[in-house]
Amino acid sequence: MASPPPVADTMPPRGVPVATPARLDAAALRSLFERLAAHGGTETRFVERRISSLLNEAAESRGVLRYVPPDRFEKRTESPEVQGLVIAGETATVEPANGTRRTLRVDQHPALATLASSLRALLGGDLDALHRAFVVAASGDASRWRIDLVPRDEEARALVTRIDARGQDDTLRRFDLHEAGGDVVELWLIGAGPGPGAK
Amino acid sequence: MKSRLATALPWVVWAVLAALAAIRVTHTSIDTDIGAFLPGPATPTQALVAEQIGQGAAAQLLLVAIEGEDSARLAQASRALRKALDHNPGFVFVANGDPASVRADRDRLLEARYLVSPHADGAGMRFAAPALRADLDRLASTLRGPMATIVRPVATRDPSLELAAILESLAGDGSPIATRHGVWFSADGRRAILLARLAAGAAALDSQAKAIDALRTAFAPLEQPGINLRIGGTPALALRSRASIQGDAMRLSLAALVSIIAILFAVLRSGRFLAAAALPIASGVLAGVAATATLFGSVHGVTLGFGITLIGEAVDYSIYTHLHRHPDGRYPRRFWPLMWLAAASSAAGFAAMCLSGFRGLEQLGVFSVVGILAAGASTRWLLPACLPQRPPPAPRWLDRGLTALQVGLRRLRPLLIVATIAAIALLGWRGATVWDDDLASISPLSPAVLGDEARLRADLGLPDAGLLVLVEAPDLQQALARAETVGTSLAGLRAQGLIAGFDDPTRLLPSAARQRARQQRLPAPKTLASDLDVALRGSVFRPGTFDPFLADVERARTREPIGPAFYRGTMIGHRLDAQIAASGSGGVRLTIPLAGVRDLASTRAALAGGAGVHVLDLKSDVEAIVRDYRRRASWVALAGALAITLLIAWRAGSARAAARVLAILPGTVALTAAAQVLIYNRLTLFNLVALLLVVGIASNYALFFAARHQGDAGNSAARMSVGLCAMTTFVAFLLLSLSSTPVLRMIGSTVAMGAALGLALSMAFAARAEANA
């Protein structure tokens, strides 16, 4: 399988309004999501980078991301330490590196709810669910697309101002979560393509 | 002139008394809470229990549910309702778990964290460089983990994640209330939940009613198909029981009155008789209420429910008086003595109650004795002049029917005797186990209402108000210090698995002494800054990142210890308000609810000896109070029965008549009680009181049947009058037994059954000479 070029290079810089003639219209977006839905489950490796004013350099971690339709989402971090997050339905199980495993209600934690609703909808191809939770703006074309999400819920917006999701064809490649404090968490899905290091 | 005066005098006396009574009655208030009917506390623990029930924090707390299918619309309604009531003076607060209030709580806890954190008493080296470095490394890994987005906003102020530790320790006691769309919901998502605290206390039920009306009014514009409002909590239940007792007593008394009138008119066909019969009824009720109100200041709803019994008794007097009159307007020689004996024996049964020392029973006693005597007096001195000049001929079908019934019953005598023996055996075998002393079973509320309430409480994760520790002290700081000691003991019990949890107010509000001790363990700014510098070297964090942390520690170190005012206006503040109350003796009382107590004896033992510390088990303590009450009421009932017995033995005329009556009464009581046990599998306090009434009624029947009457006409009059009396009493109480209020239902079914059985036994064992006449 030929490696496609890195997605990031082909995209406009963050925060700049996209105004290209190739904008994904409603019909194209719906057909994109139908193709995403056709995947069924997904399992892919990821690299996550937190870019923060607190940190000397970006904090990086790696692991495996799994989506099992209809509503199970797992993010297992393997390095630099083992941590886990499993969201199934309305409950989230978190396993911090050196803390005890805890079960939380997703609806009590807008940050978890935002993560769960966006990733589940993107990986499972549920456009209606995405529209319910976010103001959705799509750009690009069917082969290289970008979907900007702004949480509709005020509480969620107080923590996560915006999410940019980018993909190629029927695969989600990158998922940037912009926190209210200015931190950006980049999640690179590298199962079928080059990682974030490939420039 | 003189005879005219003699005729007018009773009326003048009556008019004056009636006017006085009417004035008193119009100024009477009605109690309905069951606590007011219960005895005064006998022990300090009972006093605390009674206070917790009457005035505990729960007495002002409303639980509100908005029910429906569409959770988004329910959440909208919840927010709108909260907003509409926000500045209503009837409410101290209305909470629905909205994010702003959750944030407000977190802000307070974040600010107080170094004074309230469960770690605050730990090692003093907590903020030394090595410990700080461990905290920073943990923070770095947290920022790479699943909770990163949640922790990040406070990371620069709280690198040791103290706030998370506090929240975790607070949540440890039970599952938090579920939240959907940013407001509290039941776990199944079908009910949006709000909590509201009323400004008015339990003593001001009318003000509470006003606030609840305001809540309903505020909800009215939000009402739409498929969305319902449910209001629970102690104030709502109190109002509901008041409404249901008043409504039922009123409605069923009216229905009873109408059916009695219908029966009497069908049999006697005399409008004038009916009008005349109203006189003893009205006199009795008026006198009873006025006397009760004068002696007690108010009248309890349960007492009023008994008003219906007085209607029955007073109607009986009119019937006896009407049917025993000769065509020439005179009465048989022995009639009035018999009437007096009937009234006196009924009154005697209740007279013992007046001396019981229990407020509720005393009310019933005074109401009944005064009512019966007033009805009797107006029957003797006023009624004859009002009755139709000539009594109507007895309807032959009724006479024949009653005669046939009596013949039939006489044949059944062996069966009745066997049944009575079986009944006594059943009661003897069940012994004390027949008594049900659970407050819920004598509550005026229906099981459905109590079930709704239990569900609402479960939605909110409120404990069943079962077990709690009260800590009393002369002032708040001493109370907090005592509660800290209690908290240590309780934590030990929790560690041993003897209790599941406890809600200790000192976790949010430690005593000032404890806060000062914690402040002294916090490092001075220079020390902390240099330790932090050391810790930061070689870490992933940029220098200067944690300046907000340095400022926070210094503020915590130098601030005044926090008091209850620190949390004012937040949900934590409301929670503390509910736990901190003024005690009766001018001091402070803290409430610590316990959850999941597996070993009450060990819990009591662990806390025993603590100054001002009381462990209350509300359910069983209340049951003990009710049991005590019921036992004493049994003695009172026995005394009443004895008074009736003595009166009858003394005045019944012949030893044989007395013997008959005195055999019939216990038989009636045993059969009625056994029937109640067979149907409901238990007896309560109210069955007991109703049985006393049965004794009064049945003694009247037995007296009239046992007496020798003059000739056939006399026998027929006795049979007819008692038959009619029993019929009206039976119908009136049968109607009462249809009430949705358990108390009224118990009284109704017991008395209806007792009237029927009393009539049957009286007829079956009537003086032989008459029955064969």
Q: Cβ contacts (< 8 Å) between B99 and chain A: which residues?
A: 154-155
Distance to chain A for B141, nearest Cα, Å? 7
- The better pLDDT of the pair A185, B357 is held by A185
Q: Cβ contacts (< 8 Å) between B145 and chain A: which residues?
A: 77, 83, 85, 94, 96-97
User: Contact B144/A181, CB-based, under 8 Å?
Assistant: no
User: Contact B147/A50, CB-based, under 8 Å?
Assistant: no
Q: Cβ contacts (< 8 Å) between B153 and chain A: which residues?
A: 159, 180-181
Beta bridge partners of B469: B592, B615
Distance to chain A for B546, nearest Cα, Å? 9
Distance to chain B for A93, nearest Cα, Å? 9
Which of the four pLDDT bands, split at 50, 70 and 90, describes residue A4? very low
Residue from B149, B170, B181 to probe the interface with A (highest A Cβ count within 10 Å): B149
**pLDDT(A150) > 90:** yes
Which of the four pLDDT bands, split at 50, 70 and 90, describes residue A12? very low
Q: Does B176 touch chain A (CB under 8 A)?
A: yes
Q: Cβ contacts (< 8 Å) between B545 and chain A: which residues?
A: 53-54
Predicted confidence at residue B773, as pLDDT, reads 35
Give the pairing of strands B191-198 and B467-473. Answer: unpaired
Q: Cβ contacts (< 8 Å) between B148 and chain A: which residues?
A: 50, 185
- The better pLDDT of the pair A191, B363 is held by B363
Distance to chain B for A108, nearest Cα, Å? 6
Decide if B309 contacts B252 (C-beta within 8 A): no
Residue from A155, A179, A186 to probe the interface with B (highest B Cβ count within 10 Å): A155
Q: Cβ contacts (< 8 Å) between A116 and chain B: which residues?
A: none
Distance to chain B for A110, nearest Cα, Å? 9
Low-confidence ranges of chain B (pLDDT < 70): 1-3, 32-48, 50-57, 120, 122-125, 172-176, 305-309, 356-357, 390-394, 439-440, 442, 444, 461-465, 584, 708-713, 767-773
**pLDDT(A173) > 50:** yes
Does this model's pTM top 0.80? no
User: Contact B153/A159, CB-based, under 8 Å?
Assistant: yes
Angle at A150 between CA A146 and CA A154, to 5 degrees: 170
Q: List CB contacts of A105: < 8 A, sequence separation 6 or more.
A: A90, A91, A92, B176, B178, B179
Q: Where do runs of H (alpha helix) occur along B269-395?
A: 271-296, 301-305, 307-323, 335-354, 359-381, 383-386
pLDDT tens, residue by residue, B346-400: 888 788 777 766 777 788 889 889 999 999 999 998 888 888 876 666 678 888 8
Distance CA B107, CA B68 (A): 33
Decide if B365 contacts B356 (C-beta within 8 A): yes
Of B144, B146, B545, which has the smallest distance from its Cβ to A54's Cβ? B545
Predicted confidence at residue A13, as pLDDT, reads 47
3-state secondary structure chain A: CCCCCCHHHHCCCCCCCCCCCCCCCHHHHHHHHHHHHCCCCEEEEEEEEEECCCECCCEEEEEEEEEECCCEEEEEEEECCCEEEEEECCEEEEECCCCCCEEEEHHHCHHHHHHHHHHHHHHHCCHHHHHHHEEEEEEECCCEEEEEEEECCHHHHCCEEEEEEEEECCEEEEEEEEECCCCEEEEEECCCCCCCCCC
Q: Does B151 touch chain A (CB under 8 A)?
A: no
Q: Does B148 touch chain A (CB under 8 A)?
A: yes
- For chains A and B, CB pairs below 8 A equal 92
User: Contact A83/B545, CB-based, under 8 Å?
Assistant: no
User: Contact A80/B99, CB-based, under 8 Å?
Assistant: no
pLDDT tens, residue by residue, B121-131: 764 557 888 88
User: Contact A154/B99, CB-based, under 8 Å?
Assistant: yes
Which of the four pLDDT bands, split at 50, 70 and 90, describes residue A45? very high
Output the average pLDDT for chain A: 82
User: Contact B149/A115, CB-based, under 8 Å?
Assistant: yes
Distance to chain B for A11, nearest Cα, Å? 26
Cis before residue A96, ω within 30 degrees of 0? no
User: Contact A183/B152, CB-based, under 8 Å?
Assistant: yes
User: Contact B150/A48, CB-based, under 8 Å?
Assistant: no
Predicted confidence at residue B577, as pLDDT, reads 84
Q: What percent of chain A has pLDDT over 70?
A: 84
Residues 544-573 of chain B with CB under 8 A from chain A are 545
**pLDDT(A6) > 50:** no
pLDDT tens, residue by residue, A50-69: 999 999 999 999 999 999 98
Q: Does B182 touch chain A (CB under 8 A)?
A: yes
Decide if A198 contacts A4 (C-beta within 8 A): no
Predicted confidence at residue B36, as pLDDT, reads 61
User: Contact A54/B180, CB-based, under 8 Å?
Assistant: no
Surface-to-core class of residue B451, CB atoms within 10 Å of its CB (0-12 exposed, 13-18 middle, 19+ buried): exposed
Of B142, B149, B176, which has the smallest distance from its Cβ to A179's Cβ? B149
Q: Cβ contacts (< 8 Å) between A48 and chain B: which residues?
A: 144
Give the pairing of strands B298-300 and B29-31. Answer: parallel
